[in-house]
Chains A and B, each alone.
Chain A
Amino acid sequence: MAQLPNYLRSNRKRAALSQDEAAFLLGSHGGAKVCRYERFTCEPSLSTALAFEVMYQKPVRELFAGLYQRVERDVAARAKTLIYKTDRAKPNRRTARKRQLLASIINSESNISHEP
């Protein structure tokens, strides 16, 4: 199942906060910005995303599950390219360590995408 880009709305409702109250906690002036985040029309900055983590007491990767899934897929695709390049380089301890990291990135992505 493709996850929604974020779960800010459900977490805000669970916390019984209004959009204006959430905006106040974020340090914004009104609820309009919170509304835009919740409607997926704009993505928050890193500091705002971390503020959401503090507010809703859930990790950013859970709050922005769909976005995380997309980023993870993109990184894994790039890791595949890099692992191919690494395989062609002269093998030594550094390349072995690099290969291990890239393989684990690819594996963790494929495990998640094959989860029911």
Chain B
Amino acid sequence: MKNTKDVRILSIAPSTRGFGYAVIEGNDKLVDWGVKSISGDKNNGSLTRIEKMMAFYEPKFMVLQDVKDSRRAPRIRELIEQIAVLARNRKVRVVLLSRKQIQQVFFHEGRGTKYALAELLAEWFPEELGDHLPPKRKPWMSEDYRMDIFEAVALGVAVRL
């Protein structure tokens, strides 16, 4: 998508804890990135935080995961829909990218693991994300919360490539 090169993009990756976020500007300049943990009513809490971020960064594009053909939890699906509505109400263009589309952007074969993608992004943004790369998880471990950052950055970068 060529017209996303000169604008500010906010990408959000909701998860069980809260959401990961990334703000990308110009030619792949990572302006802000991180994870917000939400307690209590996660959807309402997330929406409040995201609304504040939208007011602060005034993005032109909001990038979210396309969950049509995915197996995401009903709460996450609902949250993504609510975020999209919130963005449209603020005249922010919403771009939905499926997991398949993201993988096609980053991997030659069109397939790769989440961790391989995180490693790739940590190489692209060593100053920003190098310290956030968690150790590769073992089968008995649950996913590290920092993976949400990489998901959000992947969404933001994929929309420009």
Contacts of A7 in B (CB 8 A): 31
Let me know if B6 and A4 touch, CB within 8 A.
Answer: no
| Residues of chain A in range 1-29 having any CB-CB distance to chain B below 8 Å | 1-4, 7, 9-10, 13-14, 16
**A91 at interface (Cβ–Cβ under 8 A)?**
no
Let me know if A14 and B128 touch, CB within 8 A.
Answer: yes
Secondary structure type dominating chain B contacts:
mixed
**B42 at interface (Cβ–Cβ under 8 A)?**
no
Contact of A1 among B7, B32, B128 (CB under 8 A): B7
Let me know if A1 and B25 touch, CB within 8 A.
Answer: yes
Contact of B32 among A3, A13, A16 (CB under 8 A): A13
Let me know if A10 and B6 touch, CB within 8 A.
Answer: no
Question: Closest B-chain residue to A115, C-beta based?
Answer: B6
Interface size range of chain A in the complex: 10 to 19
Contact of B31 among A4, A16, A39, A116 (CB under 8 A): A4
Let me know if B31 and A1 touch, CB within 8 A.
Answer: no
Interface size range of chain B in the complex: 10 to 19
Question: Closest B-chain residue to A16, C-beta based?
Answer: B131
Instruction: State A13–B5 Cα separation when bound (angstroms).
Output: 23
| Residues of chain B in range 30-80 having any CB-CB distance to chain A below 8 Å | 30-34, 56-58, 60
Let me know if A116 and B127 touch, CB within 8 A.
Answer: no
Question: Closest B-chain residue to A10, C-beta based?
Answer: B31
Question: Closest B-chain residue to A7, C-beta based?
Answer: B31
Instruction: State A2–B26 Cα separation when bound (angstroms).
Output: 10
Give the interface of B toward A (CB within 8 A).
Answer: 5-8, 25-26, 30-34, 56-58, 60, 127-128, 131
Q: Top 5 closest A-B pairs, CB basis?
A: A14-B127, A10-B31, A1-B6, A116-B6, A1-B7
Known: A13-B33, A13-B34, A16-B131. 10 other contacts (CB 8 A): A1-B8, A1-B25, A2-B58, A4-B25, A9-B31, A9-B32, A10-B31, A10-B32, A13-B32, A13-B128
